[in-house]
Amino acid sequence: MAKLAPSTTPPDRPAFPPGLENAFWFATFNALSYPIILNSPMILFAKSLNASATVLGIVAGMMPLLVIFQIPAASHIGRIGYKRFVYAGWGLRVMFIFALALIPLTGGFLSAATQLALLLLLLFCFNLSRGISSAAWLPWITTLIPESMRGKFLAREATLVSLANFATLALAAICLGASPAAWQFSLLFVISACMGAASLRYLKRIPDVEVPEAERGSRQPVPWREIAAYPPFRRFLWFNLAWSIAYGGLGAFTVAYLKVTGTMAEDRILLVTGLAFLGGLAGLWLFRTRIDQFGSKPIISLCLGGWTVIVIGWLALATGLTELTFGKVLVLQLAMGFAVTLVGMNNTRLAMTLSPVMGRSHFFALYSVVANLSMGLSPVLWGLAMDAIGDRQFTVQHLEWTRYSLYFAGALGAFGVCFALSLRLVEPKSSPLDHLLRDLLIISPQRSLLRLWKRGR
């Protein structure tokens, strides 16, 4: 009997579970909504109401602060189910965005201080509903997606989110213009609410999965201390604490710095912060096949090395070492988008890797609370320190030291600590940092040159 010739047909590439395309649509429409409420547009609106640095820190930090409610929420996920839990919270979020859209229109009969108080109240409600419902999102997606495809899923999701974020902030720049009126902010918040409502349609279509029986039926107290003491997870928590302190206020205070200098109008600030997401797309393209190949740990360490260079750039601008120009700010924003997208995505992937199936919801809840609570407190504490410094300034060796330059100097030190902690992270099957660098700097350029040489023959 003749032997069959080996098949030359390449094996089918592993496909995502049926219905998962709705998760990508949900992520896209969600990313067309939340940057308006949680990013530069809201900071600029609060600044138009004469918000202090401390209040700006509260606005920037409220979302991660309220993730602390994931701890009590995690115990109820098993009874309600992943999909229902997330859908209920996201629906409430949309309602609060519609309410936020009314605040800019109350300027005729309310003082700026009262408007600011209403803004903080509704942002609290918005972020509270998000903080509670997001407890079920990561366990849901982690259970739904095979481990070998999580990097691919996160890369595709992050690509769509970056594109949507860029489009959102570009639209915001067009809507607000150089000197926005109150109704323009209101219109922008209505757009955010409509995009959030559209995302609910696709959220409802994502396939649901059964919550593990151990989480549904257990009435035993949750061993939070044992979860936190698990050595790889403990190192991961310490790293996230340092990352939150370093990065926590950077988005808000770079926008405030550009506004205070008076050299850039609102539309240009929104445009340059929106273009930062193109940097994120470049990072996703460069590392799209390397995430699952090399692991998350070396990519995080590499990006944190880049973060120190980025913050040195902001420090040079703030101290007057180099002149502030649109081109320099654009380069820094593109680099920030590149680095923060890769750190955020790989941080999530590492959390998926380190959280065991048993008690997964509680591992994710503890990770989210530690990471987000510190991320929320960070801009508030930085803001308090900056308000304490006030308008004081002094010059040393022709360098101007103000509250903004001192903030960037403090952030630079925090990023150095964060980089050191990233080297101590534990990840099964990850490659050393030098292997990643060798692939980026030597092997990949050689492959590209070889392809060009073959085409030229």
Any domain includes 452 = no
Any domain includes 170 = yes
Structural domain total, the chain: 1
pTM score:
0.69
Any domain includes 282 = yes
* CATH number of residue 181's parent domain: 1.20.1250.20
Any domain includes 62 = yes
Any domain includes 334 = yes
What is the span of the domain harbouring residue 213?
Answer: 21-444
Any domain includes 14 = no
SS3 track for the chain:
CCCCCCCCCCCCCCCCCCCCHHHHHHHHHHHCCHHHHHCHHHHHHHHHCCCCHHHHHHHHHHHHHHHHHHHHHHHHHHHHCHHHHHHHHHHHHHHHHHHHCCHHHHCCCCCHHHHHHHHHHHHHHHHHHHHHHHHHHHHHHHHHCCHHHHHHHHHHHHHHHHHHHHHHHHHHHHHHCCCCCHHHHHHHHHHHHHHHHHHHHHHCCCCCCCCCHHHHHCCCCCCHHHHHHCHHHHHHHHHHHHHHHHHCCHHHHHHHHHHHHCCCCHHHHHHHHHHHHHHHHHHHHHHCCCHHHHCHHHHHHHHHHHHHHHHHHHHHHHCCCCCCCHHHHHHHHHHHHHHHHHHHHHHHHHHHHHCCCCCHHHHHHHHHHHHHHHHHHHHHHHHHHHHHHCCCCEEECCEEECHHHHHHHHHHHHHHHHHHHHCCCCCCCCCCHHHHHHHHHHHHHHHHHHHHHHHHC
Any domain includes 453 = no
pLDDT in tens, the chain (457 residues): 444 344 443 445 567 777 888 889 999 999 888 888 887 788 888 888 888 878 887 887 787 778 777 777 777 777 778 888 888 888 888 999 999 999 999 888 888 889 999 999 999 999 888 888 877 887 888 788 877 777 778 888 888 888 888 888 888 888 887 778 888 889 999 999 999 999 999 998 988 877 766 555 555 566 667 777 788 888 988 998 999 889 888 877 888 888 777 577 777 887 787 788 788 888 888 887 777 788 888 889 998 999 999 999 999 998 888 888 888 888 998 999 888 888 888 888 888 788 776 666 677 778 877 887 887 788 888 888 888 888 888 887 788 888 888 999 999 999 999 999 998 888 887 778 888 888 777 776 666 665 655 555 5
Any domain includes 9 = no
